[in-house]
Amino acid sequence: MVLISNVLLAGGCLLMLWGTLNLLRKHNYVVKLHILGISDTLGAMLIVAALIFRFPERIFTLGTAFAALLFWGPLITFVLAKGLHEGREWGEGK
């Protein structure tokens, strides 16, 4: 179980790092926000899954955190994109 937990934890950290490093690429803000939103949400979910494997007695608390990440991660990304898009065309705002 510790090996599975370590692999999930490393995968989550690497996914979040990859998403953050993609902010340095030359894309418009929508693409950057999309990549960052997906990688951060999935990375955080992998980290919580690693914690579930490491601490199975806390499955209810960690399961609630997992469900919250599944709901709030994409919602916050959508709200940010909607707020940034007000009054702009989708291709603008690099």
pLDDT for the residue numbered 81? 80
> What parts of the chain have a pLDDT lower than 50?
none
Tokens standing for 43? 């990375």
Q: Treating both helix axes as pointing N-terminal to C-terminal, what angle do 2-21 and 29-54 enclose, rounded to 10 degrees?
A: 170
pLDDT for the residue numbered 59? 94
Burial of 35-71, coded b for 16+ CB within 10 Å and e otherwise, reads bbbebbbbbbbbbbbbbbbbeeeeeeebeebbeebee
- Catalogue the E-assigned strands of the chain: none
pLDDT for the residue numbered 76? 87
